[in-house]
């Protein structure tokens, strides 16, 4: 990939293979000797965690597909058969179901890390866009996977989300009919969702390969945002980051296991244990937690098409972020004002999620009625999500470009090693290293 | 709810609250202790046996359990598990329980519909041939299948217990339709049937099921007093087991996995510290 | 040393001056624990392909012998395969016993292939031991079965007499519940 290779084939076979398909060289250069900034913190371990999540979802998913039946009459029972009769079926299904939530948890941390440390800025725009594509594919995959157990929430969730596309003028109805393969969500819909749910993870894996490729051209960003200047700034990926990533993965697996073994149903709606019934809608339709912020944005606009455009626009903004951001400084460590706006942005995303879990008319402060503004009382989830949606949009469209031009950043270190080497608290090892170097 | 609360606190994202609904209301399910709660909780086999009897003698008249097979009763963790018969279809007690029930079959020689005694490999037969007939015989509302009922309702077994023990005379001012019963634990919206003050609409809803349990309706073989509360608690426990028959296996496996993971994480940390000890960062 | 400048700030952990045995030990234990975890988690993913509980529950069947007439066989499905239940005539039994000491490819006495005192009842798994086809009842020169796929010939005891099959038709694990009822599996 980048830089010259230090791989030296040791055996005759390796030399023979290296002349024909330098695959060992590729693995060696990208996973062993790859020079990695030595100051990466734990937020950087989520890349490895996400690779593991994708692996778990693919392996458990292939196994589940051996037992699952994509037919409206059998889907629910086949999932229950997995839970009851298949050897360790409960384990594999709960890993897959909780795994989806864990995957999204990790991807959100990964995205926010990239936002905070400016990992999307030149020369990493393509890397960032590939990541956004992965995120979109994950959302599509998760949505279609949720339909497969054919419970009440599966069915009516599918109805609501597919109807979103009906918002587009002229072609909307044609699109939904085409997507359904009929006049409602039914057996043809379930079958094609199963097919695509099986396919998309492999597409994700392909884009992940490109994502890693695009990472290995400029190399990792780091918490200072300063480019790697010399070899002293880096350590080889193995063993330094293999062991650090592994440790973080183990911590992550503890959280994962906690859900799989003790709270497997905590993140699943009880209504999905009721067989799908097209004639009765559950009392409250709520998407999975990882979609809630977008769901709140959708409902905050009192116009169907407007809501859909706002929701998709919120994601589209991520794609163009590298060109919206005018700041030359990557890391928000050195941008105290922007950092403040960023923390508000995180809070706003959480608030949007919270609003998405409630009915639009629900009071934010319980039992308080203020005055009706437009369609709802001011003290309502819908008004809170309107304010939050505005902040979300403003963060990208106003705050990010304006702050980059107006703020005065803190002094930026010369190199990655500099802040460490000049820092007295680093202890005798660092001092010794500095002396040795001098 | 408590379980869910703890889970979400651990998740670190207080995103999913209980949606406070504008119209639909119900009382929170009664707080009741179950032997299968917590990370080490196990089902009480005797309670499950009593619960099966309540289901068989009372509930099964109207409610199907179409995910349940008689063999499930004798599988590991089930109410009639006997270590002598690891394959439950050989368990003689399960065989005799199954043989008490007639199931539909087709005579392999004549092709006629016949009734024969069930075997452990048979499903619990449904009380009605289809949903339409179930609804027609029950005031227009088909009794729901109970196989995963304990997972399909917020509150699980506590909800089932609360419904079964929660029938009360309707408050004065509440008009109850014929064939419906007021239950404060049943989610519903009774505001249009309420003639009292608008801000004092009673919580709960109208359920199509008449109070199913009564004292001494089921005779427990182990001498447990046959009160409504006992019957309700035992059948709720039975339904909790039926909804999640692999729960004990899951918790046992989880305990081992967690201990292993903790040790593994400790080792990795030691390894990590060792590798990084000379790097200033 | 040339490497000093380059490695000053990021020393190679493998070139440390510590006692190498103690240094490597923790990494070896950690690696072994990782391998152990993967191997033990592999088992559920392998075991899920074994027969599930509902499949095992159907793996035992009971059969009423009064449905079979003398000289005939009834084929029932057991574990997804045909099961031959043959009511042999005295002549067929005599032929089978007569050939007990013939030159057999897979030697077995007729006595060993039926339950004691029930020579008329022959219960066999109806798949050819060559490649799994279902042999035809009464075919072949020995009056037993003839496999249409590759021409294996079985006698009235289900023993292989001619053709490519290596073994006799298999006798399943079964028992008599009463004179007229058997349980297979």
Tens digit of pLDDT for each residue in C4-35?
Answer: 333 334 445 454 445 555 567 899 999 999 99
Query: Hey, is the C-beta of B2 within 8 angstroms of any chain A C-beta?
Result: no
Q: Please tell me the predicted confidence (pLDDT) of residue A44.
A: 97
Q: For chain A, what is the total number of helices (H) and then of strands (E)?
A: 17, 4
Q: Please tell me the predicted confidence (pLDDT) of residue C10.
A: 46
With beta carbons under 8 A apart, name residues in chain A contacting B249. Answer: 90
pLDDT (tens digit, 9 = 90+) per residue, A199-237? 999 999 999 999 999 999 999 999 999 999 998 899 999
Distance separating alpha carbons of residues C63 and C183, to the nearest angstrom: 6
Contact residues for C103 (Cβ-Cβ < 8 A; gap 6+):
none
Query: Hey, is the C-beta of B148 within 8 angstroms of any chain A C-beta?
Result: yes
Contact B89 C60 (CB under 8 A): yes
Nearest chain C residue (CA) to A429: C9
Query: DSSP for A379-425?
Result: SSHHHHHHHHHHHHHHIIIIIHHHHHHH--PPPPPSSSHHHHHT-GG
Contact B270 C26 (CB under 8 A): yes
Nearest to B17 among A240, A244, A357 (CB): A357
Distance separating alpha carbons of residues A6 and A9, to the nearest angstrom: 10
pLDDT (tens digit, 9 = 90+) per residue, C163-180? 999 999 999 999 998 888
Kind plus residue range of the DSSP H or E element containing C87? strand C81-87
Query: Hey, is the C-beta of C49 within 8 angstroms of any chain A C-beta?
Result: yes
Nearest to B263 among C11, C33, C54 (CB): C33
Contact C34 B264 (CB under 8 A): yes
Nearest chain B residue (CA) to A346: B13
Q: Considering only residues 237 to 276 of chain A, which have any Cβ-Cβ distance to chain B shorter than 8 Å? A: 239-240, 243-244, 246-247, 250-251, 253-255, 257-267, 270-271, 273-275
Residue of C27, C101, C130, C150 with catalytic role: C150
pTM reported for the whole predicted model: 0.89
Q: Please tell me the predicted confidence (pLDDT) of residue B48.
A: 97
The residue among A103, A96, A179, A105 whose CA lies nearest residue A138 is A103
Distance separating alpha carbons of residues A139 and A127, to the nearest angstrom: 19
Nearest to B278 among C13, C33, C57 (CB): C13
What are the structure tokens assigned to B93, written together?
A: 């007690």
**Please, which pLDDT band fits residue C80 given cuts at 50, 70 and 90?**
confident
DSSP-based three-state secondary structure for A336: helix
Contact A87 C44 (CB under 8 A): yes
| DSSP assigned state of A275 | B
Contact residues for C137 (Cβ-Cβ < 8 A; gap 6+):
C73, C84, C86, C145
Q: Considering only residues 404 to 423 of chain A, which have any Cβ-Cβ distance to chain B shorter than 8 Å? A: 417, 420-421
For residue A151, is pLDDT > 90? yes
Q: Cis bond leading into A239, ω under 30°?
A: yes
Who has greater pLDDT, C140 or B252?
B252
Q: Please give the radius of gyration of chain A, using alpha carbons only, rounded to the nearest integer.
A: 25
The residue among B50, B90, B63 whose CA lies nearest residue B225 is B50
**Bridge-partner residues for C160, per DSSP?**
C154
Question: How far A20 CA sits from the closest chain B CA (Å)?
Answer: 35
Query: DSSP for chain B?
Result: -HHHHHHHHHHT-TT--PPPPSS-B-PPPP----TT-STT----HHHHHHHHHHHHHTGGGT---TT-BGGGGGSTTSTT--TT-SSGGG-HHHHHHHHTSEEEEE-TTT--EEEEE--TTSBPPPSSSSHHHHHHTTTT-PPPP-TTHHHHSTTTHHHHHHHHH---PPPTTB---TT-EEETTS-B--GGGB-S-GGGPPS-EEESS-----TTSS--TT-----HHHHHHHHHHHHHHHH-TTHHHHHHHHHHHHHHHHHHHHHHHHHHHHHHTT---
Distance separating alpha carbons of residues A272 and A286, to the nearest angstrom: 11
What are the structure tokens assigned to B168, written together?
A: 């009360």
Nearest to C44 among A91, A232, A235 (CB): A91
Query: Hey, is the C-beta of B259 within 8 angstroms of any chain C C-beta?
Result: no
**Please, which pLDDT band fits residue A2 given cuts at 50, 70 and 90?**
very low
Q: Considering only residues 35 to 94 of chain A, which have any Cβ-Cβ distance to chain B shorter than 8 Å? A: 38-39, 77, 80, 83-84, 90-91, 94
Nearest to B251 among A80, A261, A289 (CB): A261
Q: How many Cβ pairs closer than 8 A exist between chain B and C? A: 48
Query: Hey, is the C-beta of B269 within 8 angstroms of any chain C C-beta?
Result: no
With beta carbons under 8 A apart, name residues in chain A contacting B262. Answer: 254
Q: Please tell me the predicted confidence (pLDDT) of residue C22.
A: 59
- Please provide the distance, in angstroms rounded to a whole number, between the alpha carbons at the two ends of chain B: 45
Instruction: Please state which of the ranges A244-248, B14-18, C45-49 shows the lowest mean pLDDT.
Output: B14-18
Tell me the percentage of chain A whose pLDDT exceeds 70.
95
Q: Please tell me the predicted confidence (pLDDT) of residue B171.
A: 92
Nearest to B278 among C11, C36, C60 (CB): C11
Asked if A259 and A102 count as a contact pair (C-beta separation under 8 A), the reply is yes
What are the structure tokens assigned to A17, written together?
A: 């293979």
With beta carbons under 8 A apart, name residues in chain A contacting C45. Answer: 59, 63, 88, 92
For residue A392, is pLDDT > 60? yes
Asked if B241 and B43 count as a contact pair (C-beta separation under 8 A), the reply is yes
Question: How far C170 CA sits from the closest chain A CA (Å)?
Answer: 28
Distance separating alpha carbons of residues A43 and A37, to the nearest angstrom: 14
Establish how many alpha carbons lie within 13 A of residue B89's alpha carbon, considering only the half-sphere containing its beta carbon. Answer: 19
Contacting partners of chain A (3+ CB pairs under 8 A): B, C
Mutate to test the interface with C, among B67, B89, B95, B108 (most CBs of C within 10 A): B89
Asked if B171 and B183 count as a contact pair (C-beta separation under 8 A), the reply is no
With beta carbons under 8 A apart, name residues in chain B contacting C9. Answer: 279-280
For residue A220, CA distances in Å to A75, A281, A331, A411, C113 come to 44, 48, 13, 22, 73
Question: How far A86 CA sits from the closest chain C CA (Å)?
Answer: 5
Contact residues for C42 (Cβ-Cβ < 8 A; gap 6+):
none
Distance separating alpha carbons of residues A362 and A379, to the nearest angstrom: 8
A→C interface, C-beta within 8 Å: 38, 59, 63, 66-67, 81, 84-89, 91-92, 231-232, 234-236, 239, 246, 417, 421, 433-434, 436-437
Low-confidence spans in chain B with pLDDT less than 70: 1-23, 108-109, 281
Mutate to test the interface with C, among A88, A237, A418 (most CBs of C within 10 A): A88
Mutate to test the interface with C, among B108, B267, B276 (most CBs of C within 10 A): B267
Q: Please tell me the predicted confidence (pLDDT) of residue C155.
A: 93
Question: How far A169 CA sits from the closest chain B CA (Å)?
Answer: 33
Contact A246 C50 (CB under 8 A): no
Q: Considering only residues 154 to 213 of chain B, which have any Cβ-Cβ distance to chain A shorter than 8 Å? A: 154, 156, 187
* Residue C98 a catalytic site member: no
Handedness of CA B191, B193, B198, B200 (dihedral sign): negative
Q: Please tell me the predicted confidence (pLDDT) of residue B178.
A: 87
| Residue ranges of domains in chain A, CATH in brackets | 38-285 (1.20.810.10), 293-410 (no CATH)
Nearest chain B residue (CA) to C67: B109
pLDDT (tens digit, 9 = 90+) per residue, C90-113? 999 999 999 998 889 999 999 999
Asked if A130 and A214 count as a contact pair (C-beta separation under 8 A), the reply is yes
Q: What is the mean pLDDT of residues A253-269?
A: 94
Q: Please give the radius of gyration of chain C, using alpha carbons only, rounded to the nearest integer.
A: 30
The residue among A299, A423, A273 whose CA lies nearest residue A352 is A299
Contact B120 C37 (CB under 8 A): no
Distance separating alpha carbons of residues B77 and A426, to the nearest angstrom: 56
Handedness of CA B246, B252, B257, B258 (dihedral sign): positive
Distance separating alpha carbons of residues A251 and A109, to the nearest angstrom: 15
Establish how many alpha carbons lie within 13 A of residue B88's alpha carbon, considering only the half-sphere containing its beta carbon. Answer: 25
Q: Please tell me the predicted confidence (pLDDT) of residue B258.
A: 96
How confident is the prediction for chain C on average, in pLDDT? 86
Contacting partners of chain C (3+ CB pairs under 8 A): A, B
DSSP-based three-state secondary structure for C166: coil
Contact A85 C9 (CB under 8 A): no
Nearest chain C residue (CA) to A91: C44
């Amino acid at each position: 990939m980048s830089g010259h290779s230090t791989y030296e084939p040791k055996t005759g076979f390796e030399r023979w293979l290296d002349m024909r398909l330098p695959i060992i060289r590729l693995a060696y250069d990208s996973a062993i000797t790859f020079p990695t900034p030595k100051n990466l913190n734990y937020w950087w371990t989520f890349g490895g965690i996400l690779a593991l999540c994708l692996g778990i979802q693919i392996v458990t998913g292939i196994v589940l597909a051996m037992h699952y039946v994509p037919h409206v009459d059998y889907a629910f029972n086949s999932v229950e058969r997995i839970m009851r009769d298949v050897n360790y079926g409960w384990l594999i299904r709960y890993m897959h179901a909780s795994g989806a939530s864990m995957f999204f948890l990790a991807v959100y941390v990964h995205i926010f890390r990239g936002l905070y440390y400016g990992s999307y800025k030149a020369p990493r725009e393509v890397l960032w866009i590939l990541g956004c594509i992965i995120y979109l594919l994950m959302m599509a995959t998760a949505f279609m996977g949720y339909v497969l157990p054919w419970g009440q929430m599966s069915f009516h969730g599918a109805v609501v989300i597919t109807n979103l596309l009906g918002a587009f003028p002229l072609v909307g109805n044609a699109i939904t009919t085409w997507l359904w393969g009929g006049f409602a969500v039914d057996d043809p819909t379930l079958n094609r969702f199963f097919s695509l749910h099986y396919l998309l993870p492999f597409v994700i894996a392909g884009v992940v390969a490109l994502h890693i490729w695009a990472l290995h051209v400029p190399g990792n960003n780091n918490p200072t945002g300063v480019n790697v200047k010399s070899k002293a700034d880096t350590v080889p990926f193995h063993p330094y980051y293999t062991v650090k990533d592994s440790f973080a993965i183990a911590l992550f697996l503890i959280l994962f296991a906690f859900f799989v073994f003790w709270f497997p149903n905590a993140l699943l709606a009880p209504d999905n244990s009721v067989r799908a019934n097209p004639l009765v809608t559950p009392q409250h339709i709520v998407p999975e937690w990882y979609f809630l912020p977008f769901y709140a944005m959708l409902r905050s606009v009192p116009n169907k098409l407007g809501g859909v455009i706002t929701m998709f626009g919120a994601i589209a903004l991520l794609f163009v972020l590298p060109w919206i951001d005018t700041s030359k400084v990557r890391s928000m460590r050195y941008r105290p004002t922007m950092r403040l706006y960023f923390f508000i942005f995180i809070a706003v995303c959480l608030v949007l999620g919270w609003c998405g879990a409630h009915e639009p008319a629900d009071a934010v402060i319980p039992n308080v009625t203020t005055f009706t503004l437009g369609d709802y009382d001011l003290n309502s989830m819908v008004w809170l999500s309107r304010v939050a949606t505005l902040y979300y949009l403003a963060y990208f469209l106003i705050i990010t470009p304006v702050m980059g031009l107006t703020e005065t950043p803190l002094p930026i270190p010369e190199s990655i090693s500099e802040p460490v080497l000049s820092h007295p608290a680093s202890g005798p090892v660092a001092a010794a290293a500095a002396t040795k170097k001098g | 709810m408590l379980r869910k609360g703890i889970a979400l606190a651990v998740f670190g994202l207080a995103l999913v609250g209980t949606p406070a609904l504008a119209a639909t209301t119900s009382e929170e399910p009664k707080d009741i202790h179950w032997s299968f709660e917590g990370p080490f909780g196990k089902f009480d086999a005797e309670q499950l046996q009593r619960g099966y009897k309540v289901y068989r003698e009372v509930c099964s008249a109207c409610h199907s359990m179409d995910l349940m097979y008689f063999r499930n009763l004798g599988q590991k963790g089930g109410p009639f598990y006997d270590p002598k018969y690891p394959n439950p279809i050989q368990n003689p007690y399960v065989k005799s329980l199954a043989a008490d029930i007639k199931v539909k079959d087709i005579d392999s020689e004549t092709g006629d519909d016949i009734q024969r005694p069930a075997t452990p490999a048979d499903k619990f037969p449904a009380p009605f041939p289809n949903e339409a007939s179930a609804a027609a015989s029950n005031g227009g509302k088909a009794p729901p299948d109970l196989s995963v009922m304990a997972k399909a309702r917020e509150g699980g077994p506590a909800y089932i217990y609360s419904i079964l023990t929660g029938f009360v005379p309707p408050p004065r001012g509440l008009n109850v339709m014929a064939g419906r019963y007021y239950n404060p634990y049943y989610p519903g919206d009774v505001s249009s049937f309420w003639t009292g003050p608008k801000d004092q609409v009673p919580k709960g809803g109208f359920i199509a099921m008449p109070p199913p349990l009564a004292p001494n309706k089921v005779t427990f073989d182990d001498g447990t007093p046959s009160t409504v509360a006992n019957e309700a608690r035992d059948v709720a426990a039975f339904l909790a087991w039926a909804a999640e028959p692999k729960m004990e296996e899951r918790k046992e496996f989880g305990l081992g996995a967690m201990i292993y993971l903790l040790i593994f994480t400790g080792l990795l940390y030691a390894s990590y510290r060792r590798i990084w000890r000379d790097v200033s960062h | 040393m040339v490497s000093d400048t380059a490695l000053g700030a990021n020393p190679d952990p493998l070139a440390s001056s510590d006692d190498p045995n103690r240094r490597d030990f923790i990494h070896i234990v950690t690696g072994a624990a990782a391998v152990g975890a993967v191997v033990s988690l592999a088992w559920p993913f392998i075991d899920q392909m074994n027969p599930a509980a509902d499949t095992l529950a159907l793996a035992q069947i009971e059969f009423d012998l009064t449905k079979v007439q003398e000289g005939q066989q009834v084929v029932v499905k057991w574990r997804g395969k045909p099961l031959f239940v043959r009511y042999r005539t005295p002549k067929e039994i005599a032929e089978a016993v007569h050939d007990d000491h013939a030159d057999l490819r897979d030697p077995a006495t007729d006595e060993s292939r039926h339950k004691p005192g029930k020579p008329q009842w022959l219960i066999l798994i109806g798949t050819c031991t060559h490649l799994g086809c279902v042999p035809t009842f009464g075919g072949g020169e020995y009056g037993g079965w003839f496999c249409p796929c590759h021409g294996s010939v079985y006698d009235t005891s289900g023993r292989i007499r001619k053709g490519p099959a290596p073994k006799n038709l298999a006798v399943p694990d079964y028992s008599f519940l009463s004179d007229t009822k058997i349980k297979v599996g």
